[in-house]
A and B are shown apart, each in its own frame.
Chain A
Amino acid sequence: MSSNRLDPPGPPITRRAFVGHSLLLSTVLSAVPGAAWAALRETPFFADAVAGDKLPRVADRIPAEPAIVDTTGKAGGELRMLMATPKDVRMMVVYGYARLVGLTPSLKLAPDILKAVDVEAGSVFTLHLRKGMRWSDGQPFTAEDFRYWFEDVASNRHLSQSGLPVDLLPNGEKPRFEVLDETTVRYSWSRPNPLFLPDIAGPDPLFIYCPSHYLKQFHQKYADKDQLAALVKKARVRNWAALHNKLDAMYKNDNPELPSLQPWILKTKPPAERFIFERNPYYYRVDKEGTQLPYIDRVILSLADSRIIPAKTAAGETDLQARYLSFDDYTFLRQSEDRNHFDVRLWRTGPGSQFALYPNLNTGDAVWRGLLRDLRFRRALSLAVNRHEINQVIYFGLAIEGQNTILPQSPLYRPAYRNAWARYDLGEANRLLDLVGLTQRGSDNVRLLPDGRPMELIVEYSGEEPEEPDVLELIRDSWLHIGIRLFSKPAQLTLFRRRVFSGEALMALDKGVENGLANAASSPWEFAPTSQQELEWPKWGQYYETKGRAGEAPDLPSAVQLRDLFNQWLGTASPDDQAAAWHQILQIWADEVFSIGTVGGVLQPVVVSDKLRNIPEKGIYNWDPGAFFGIYKPDQFWLEPEAGAKSAAAGTGPAAATP
């Protein structure tokens, strides 16, 4: 279930529901009695400001058509969190998760800031705004904010030198943008654009609007020339475009003056060691008892070195913390649970595999390249990884063993994808290697390459995660049994990537696919050669990214097929066709073992203060989809005025998502 009344009862809102139906609020509004208006309660935090006529009454602050949320709670309080760098203020845009269209806890798309979205044939998107909705400074949020962004920001060659964001350009085609009326805008393409809605729902969303009333004073077209020149000079930047881009920080979130739609607004001007966020007086969501959200008045981010954050968390210096904690802190945190009044929960993460090996199919060493491109060789390597041992030794047996592919929580999941070539079978691995022709062995029983060199495989990794060398050590032991000697080589992150991109590295150990929770509507780009970031085929990915200007064209038939299937997915709006493309991609991915997975669904400790309510006991802690806490809507979290009994902390949350 979802706690958002916007979801019409009945069939869940999937892309299918978007096509054809219009999710108009009017039908839902009628379900809320008109009495809800009389019952609107003034937020205590603003009571003085309202009494002093500094702020309009709550009824005049919320939109005429607010989002009504099926939850109750108490307003007030401060939420403390720890962050490591000043750049982390952007996390409040991720956690706040006010999106035009957002994901629900069950990972379905639903209108959020928008009242409704009409989608026709996957290519014409009509967005309906809420009437009377306002920015955090009280100015109206209207179609003009979309027009300004599209015409004066994204299409302005000074502000956006590279033109429109690529996600608005399926097959290079620009959308047609129309303002239908003050609260309705439309984007249309001649072909489907399946990336559009997932992108504006993302953790770092595509912002297709911006506070035009504020930014116009920094825009050449609208501002007074002399005044603008003075502002540019004062800010010590080169020109008006640099100033505009610096202030238009909707994701970076480091400009306290920028009006926002998020639940909490930055009040501290950087640089600082402690950032204070205050509730947005014009927020668009109201609970069913007439209390304006968010419940929590202020969010306070204190900076500390990332290595000291687990210790500070254990000392009870945060009310909600998951960032900078990892699974190996779990036992340590549990020890301090009672003394410092918090609860450590374990949420599932979304990457398909915590760590995966990526044989570099573009490596410069011709002999190794030939081997790594041999399907049987990759399968043999995978069969000789003891996943059960890795799971037991490093993750107390709590992770999910298998290949680097989607997780069981994904609607596309089939056990065969995850289990393909993932058992531990040294006999079969040795047999496959013999079949490849690697029968010559050196003095210490290590196989010899066709050119006589011993099979010493160097696996490079970035060393960002403390578990990486441990995993490699375990794999090294089992690979010795199939006559391959593994050497591990850590390198600084940038250098590591460069070595993989250039083909100097033979094999890399890195995070697995990010979106292990994919549904048919999410992009399968990670499984096809589409980006240089894919460490198994960086040059093929680069070729796709640069439209053939750099990199190499893929020459392995299965990789070409994956790319074609990805393009096929891009070109369709039908959920069935998308799912069909996904399954073909996953099947090829499973057969070909392009990357060798270890364990996935690793648990993330989430430390929740005993005072904090409405946060699920079990959940997904993931970047995309998930926006970390975002899909659980932290504006619904609330604080018990006095720390209550621990048992009360459990069970009051909104629907716990399937872990």
Chain B
Amino acid sequence: MLSYIVHRILIMVPTLIAISIVIFTIINLPPGNYFTTYIAELQGSGETADLAKIQFLEKEYGFDRPLWQQYLYWAGGLLHGDLGYSFAYDLPVDKVVGDRMLLTAVVSITTIIFTYLVAFPIGIYSATHQYSISDHLLTLLGFLGLATPSFLLALVLLYLANVYFGISIGGLMDPKYLDQPWSWPKVVSLMEHIWIPVIVIGSAGTAAMIRRLRANLLDELQKQYVVTARAKGLHPLKALFKYPLRMALNPFISDIGSLLPQVISGAAIVSVVMSLPTTGPMLLSALRSQDMYLAGSFLMFMASLTVIGVFVSDLALALLDPRIRLQAGRRQ
């Protein structure tokens, strides 16, 4: 087991190097750089840009050097924990990202908890009451949740919340709390606002989870060991939770890999529509304006979390499921 862990950790290094090259290349694929995009934007709105000053800045930030040198400069900085400089914000990247990370994590973790709380009871109920009327109703509801475009749901909920509850549109709190330190009214305001993004971001995920849990559980429920357990008079709830549900959980554990980066990235499209102060819209605008160090470093951070997340979920699977643990041992 130990050599397996060491092996997995070692293989992360070339993976991350490959990812960093891909990220850097893709960001630099569109023509121009941050400054040309910026000039085009300025001129589009009639403002003039001092071209000589732009040339000076391009030189200052090393845009005149070959791409591989720029890559090495960036990657070298990452190793030192220097995430580079954001041109759009005129600040080091860590200062730009820092503030948004906390709120993103709050939204994401709340969403995940919401998803689990709603999806598990419904999924289990649907599986144990297959083809009953309530199963059909819940299934319909689930498909509606899957099929509704989340940005549309976001707009409708924003409108209703504003008209009927007087909650300010967009954002995670009333604008007047934005620059104040944390206080009780600020938390209340956050609670007032957070439910819309949580429902919107969570709805598709909840629906998908209900379907998957139902399918997995149905597979398990028909297996002989369940029949045996029931025949031996085990309590129906124990016969459900002790073994079949545990087996049905495997796909969710392997999901942890993608869950970690999700916690800090948030749902970009919904966040843009709802104007949430999370990292998603920031990443989107950084990519659009070719703010390459901000976009690159943030993507790199997410990629690292994904790699770590996959590793953690593999370990968790082995711990949870004796079959995986024992098979792995046999092969070695």
Q: Interface segment, B64-72, B83-91, B214-222?
A: B83-91
Contact (Cβ within 8 A) B162 A271: no
What class of interface size applies to chain B in its complex with A? 35 or more
Contact of B169 among A85, A87, A317, A511 (CB under 8 A): A317
Q: What is the minimal beta-carbon distance from A132 to any residue of chain B, in angstroms?
A: 33
Q: A161-B52, A271-B96, A624-B46 given as contacts; is B272 within 8 A of A305 (CB)?
A: yes
Contact (Cβ within 8 A) B47 A493: no
Residues from chain B with a CB closer than 8 A to the CB of A86 are: 88-89
Residues from chain A with a CB closer than 8 A to the CB of B56 are: 161-162
Which residues of A, 149-164, contact B by the 8 Å Cβ criterion? 161-162
Q: What is the minimal beta-carbon distance from B81 to any residue of chain A, in angstroms?
A: 13
Residues from chain B with a CB closer than 8 A to the CB of A492 are: 30
Contact (Cβ within 8 A) B40 A494: yes
Contact (Cβ within 8 A) B36 A494: yes
Mask for A251-273, Cβ within 8 A of B = 1, else 0?
A: 00010000000000000101111
Contact (Cβ within 8 A) B60 A238: yes
CB within 8 Å: A-B pair count: 100
Residues from chain A with a CB closer than 8 A to the CB of B275 are: 304-305, 308, 312
Interface membership of B168, Cβ < 8 A: yes
Mask for B170-211, Cβ within 8 A of A = 1, else 0?
A: 110001001100000000000000000000000000000000
Contact (Cβ within 8 A) B31 A498: yes
Contact (Cβ within 8 A) B179 A497: no
Contact of B47 among A165, A270, A623 (CB under 8 A): A623
Which residues of A, 214-236, contact B by the 8 Å Cβ criterion? 236
Interface membership of B95, Cβ < 8 A: yes
Q: What is the minimal beta-carbon distance from B292 to any residue of chain A, in angstroms?
A: 14
Which residues of B, 240-287, contact A by the 8 Å Cβ criterion? 272-275, 277, 281, 285
Q: What DSSP secondary structure best describes chain A's contact surface?
A: loop
Contact (Cβ within 8 A) B36 A162: no
Q: A305-B272, A494-B40 given as contacts; is B169 within 8 A of A312 (CB)?
A: yes
Interface membership of B329, Cβ < 8 A: no
Contact of B178 among A162, A272, A464, A511 (CB under 8 A): A272
Residues from chain B with a CB closer than 8 A to the CB of A246 are: 90
Residues from chain A with a CB closer than 8 A to the CB of B274 are: 308
Contact of A307 among B89, B273, B277, B285 (CB under 8 A): B273
- Closest residue to A274 on the B side, CB-wise? B178
Residues from chain B with a CB closer than 8 A to the CB of A80 are: 175
| Docked pose: A317 CA to B169 CA in angstroms | 8
Interface membership of A200, Cβ < 8 A: no
- Closest residue to B159 on the A side, CB-wise? A311
Contact (Cβ within 8 A) B52 A162: yes
Contact (Cβ within 8 A) A308 B31: no
Contact (Cβ within 8 A) B179 A308: no
Contact (Cβ within 8 A) A315 B30: no
Interface membership of B14, Cβ < 8 A: no
Contact (Cβ within 8 A) A302 B178: yes
Residues from chain B with a CB closer than 8 A to the CB of A511 are: 44, 46
Residues from chain A with a CB closer than 8 A to the CB of B36 are: 494
Contact (Cβ within 8 A) B90 A254: yes
Q: A165-B50, A315-B169 given as contacts; is B91 within 8 A of A493 (CB)?
A: no
| Docked pose: A165 CA to B275 CA in angstroms | 39
Interface membership of B99, Cβ < 8 A: yes
Interface membership of A204, Cβ < 8 A: yes
Contact (Cβ within 8 A) A204 B170: no
Q: What is the minimal beta-carbon distance from B146 to any residue of chain A, in angstroms?
A: 25
Residues from chain B with a CB closer than 8 A to the CB of A276 are: 179
**In the complex, the 3 A-B pairs of residues with the closest C-beta atoms, listed nearest first:** A162-B52, A274-B178, A623-B46
Given contacts A274-B175, A493-B41, 17 further A-B contacts (CB under 8 A): A85-B88, A162-B50, A203-B47, A270-B89, A271-B95, A271-B96, A276-B179, A300-B175, A305-B275, A307-B272, A308-B169, A312-B169, A317-B168, A492-B30, A511-B44, A623-B46, A623-B47
Can you list 28 residue pairs at the A/B interface with Cβ under 8 Å? A80-B175, A86-B88, A161-B56, A162-B53, A165-B50, A204-B47, A238-B60, A268-B179, A270-B91, A271-B96, A271-B99, A272-B178, A272-B179, A273-B178, A273-B179, A274-B179, A300-B175, A302-B175, A305-B170, A312-B169, A312-B275, A315-B169, A464-B44, A497-B40, A498-B31, A511-B46, A533-B43, A623-B47
A residues at B contact (CB < 8 Å): 80, 85-87, 161-162, 165, 203-204, 236, 238, 242, 246, 254, 268, 270-274, 276, 300, 302, 304-305, 307-308, 311-312, 315, 317, 462, 464, 492-495, 497-498, 511, 514, 533, 623-624
B residues at A contact (CB < 8 Å): 30-32, 36-37, 40-41, 43-48, 50, 52-53, 55-56, 60, 88-92, 95-96, 99, 155, 158-159, 162, 168-171, 175, 178-179, 272-275, 277, 281, 285
